[in-house]
Amino acid sequence: MQLMKQDLDLKKITAGAGGNAIKSSPGEKLFAAFNYAFFILMGMTTMLPFINLLAKSLSSEQAVVSGRVGLFPIGIQFETYYYVLQDSMFLTSLRTSVLLTVIGTALSLFMTTITAYPLSKTRLRGRKWLLLMFVFTMLFSGGLIPTYLLMQNLNLVNTLPVLFLPAMVNVFNMLIIKNYFEGLPESLEESAKLDGAGNIRILIHIILPLSLPVLATIALFFAVAFWNDYFAAMIYITNPELKPLQLYLKELIVSSGGEFLKNNVDAAINMTPQSIQASSILLATIPILLVYPFLQKYFVKGVLVGSVKG
C-alpha cells in the first residue's frame, strides 16, 4: 500500500515539474541509475559508523574483544547501557549539558534576536557602522589566549556561565535572522504604527510570530552548538562537577575508557572499554537524533532564505 502511494506521489511531482516528465534518453536513464546508486551508497556510508557502534555496544565482551563484531551485534547484552546510565560522572555531565543547552539556547536566541531586529531596519541611523562593528568580530578576533585571560580576570573560569555568556551574540546567526526580518513586508509594520504601537510591541506581536521558521532554525543551531561544545569546556572548566557531556566523552575516549573502569570496578570485570565508549557515544547522540527530524524541515527553509541573501 505504502509503496503504491509513494509511486502516485512521485507521478504527481514529476508531472508537476513540467518539462521534466518528457521521455528521457538512454544516457539520462543511465545517469539516473548511477545517481540513485551513488546516493544510496552515500547514505549507507553516513549511517554505517552508527550501526557498527550500536552493534558493538550491544555485543558480548568476548565478541568485542576478539574484534568479531561488524554490523550486527553478537551475543546480545544491554548491561553496558546499564553501567553507563548509573555512573555518577556520566549523569553529572549529562545534567550539566542539559542545563547549559537549555539556558544557553534561550538566552542566546533572545539576545541574538533583539540585536538582529534594529539592525534589520534600514532607517536606523548609524546602521552601517553598527553592522560593521558586529561583522568585524567575525573577521578578526583577539585569539585564544587574550580571551582566556579575560575570562580569568572576570572570574568566570570554572563557572557554568563561561560556557554560554561569550557565545550569546552569535554574529553569523544574527545576520541570518536579520536577513529574514528584512524580507518581511514593510506594510505589516506600518499599520501597527498607525495604531500607535512602539517598535518593541511590533517585534513581539507582529514580527516574531511570522519568524518562527527562522527562529526555530537558529534555536536548533544554538542548541546543537551548546550540546556539542567541548572546546570551551576543555579550556575553562577543570571542576569535574561542571564538565559537560562532550568533555566527559572526550576524556573517556582519550583514556580509552580506562577512567570509567577504574571508577566502576564491577563494570571492569564484565565490560570492555570499547563497549562502554560505544554506548556512551550513542547515548550522547540520542538527543540530537530526537530533535533533528522535527526541525529539519524548518531549517532547510529558514537557512535557504537567510544564506542566499547573506
Partner 1 sequence: MKPEKDKPQAGTGKKAYMPTLARDIRKEWDLYLLLIPGILFILLFKYTPMYGIIIAFKDFNIFTGFADSPWVGWKHFEKLFTSPDFSRVFQNTVIISLLKIIILFPLPIVIALMLNEMKNMMFKRSVQTVIYLPHFLSWVIVSGLFIDLLSVNGGLVNKLLNSMGMESVAFFLDNSVFRSVLVTSAGWKETGWSTIVYLAAFSMIDPALYEAAKIDGASKWKQLWHITLPGIAPIIILMFILRLGNILEAGTEQILVMYNPVVYKVSDVIGTYVYRQGLGNQDYSFTTAVGLFEAVISFTLVVVGNSLSKKYLQRGIW
Q: Which of residues 168-207 bind partner 1 (CB under 8 A)?
A: 168-169, 171, 174, 198-200, 203
**Closest CB to partner 1 among residues 3, 269:** 3
Cα–Cα distance for residue pair 52/44, rounded to 1 Å: 12
Hey, which residues between 217 and 246 contact partner 1 (CB under 8 A)?
224, 227-231, 234-235, 246
Residues 246 and 97: beta-carbon distance below 8 Å: yes
Q: Return the residue of 61, 98, 106, 147 that touches partner 1, per CB under 8 A.
A: 147
Q: Which helix (H) or strand (E) holds 222?
A: helix 212-228
Taking CB under 8 A as the rule, does residue 67 contact partner 1?
A: yes
Residue number, 266 or 304, with CB nearest to partner 1: 304
- 245 alpha-carbon distance from chain centroid: 14
When the beta carbons of 45 and 88 are compared against partner 1, the nearer one is 45
Nearest to 306 by CA among 183, 137, 130, 134: 183
Give 91 or 300: the residue with its C-beta nearer to partner 1: 300
Direct distance between the N- and C-terminal alpha carbons of the chain, in angstroms, rounded to an integer: 44
State in angstroms the smallest separation of the CB of 185 from partner 1.
Answer: 19
Q: Which of 267, 247, 307 is nearest to 93 (CA)?
A: 247
Give Cα 119 to chain centroid, integer Å.
26
Sites for partner 1 among residues 82-121 (CB under 8 A): 111-112, 114-115, 117-119, 121
CA distance 234 to 247: 7
Nearer to partner 1, 19 or 209 (CB): 19
**By CB under 8 A, is residue 15 in contact with partner 1?**
no
Q: Find out whether 247 and 93 touch, Cβ atoms under 8 Å.
A: yes
Task: Give the shortest CB-25-to-partner 1 separation in angstroms.
Answer: 8
Exposed e or buried b per residue across 148-158, where buried means at least 16 C-beta atoms within 10 angstroms of its C-beta: eeebeeeebee
Kindly state the smallest distance separating residue 50's Cβ from partner 1, in Å. Answer: 7
Q: Which of residues 270-289 bind partner 1 (CB under 8 A)?
A: 274, 277-278, 281, 284-285, 288-289
Q: Nearer to partner 1 by C-beta: 50 or 78?
A: 50
CB of residue 264 vs partner 1: minimum separation in angstroms?
19
Query: Does residue 20 touch partner 1 according to CB under 8 A?
Result: yes
211 burial via Cβ count (<10 Å: 0-12, 13-18, 19+): buried
Longest alpha-carbon distance in the chain: 76
Segment interacting with partner 1, rule: CB under 8 A, options 32-40, 80-88, 182-190, 209-217: 32-40
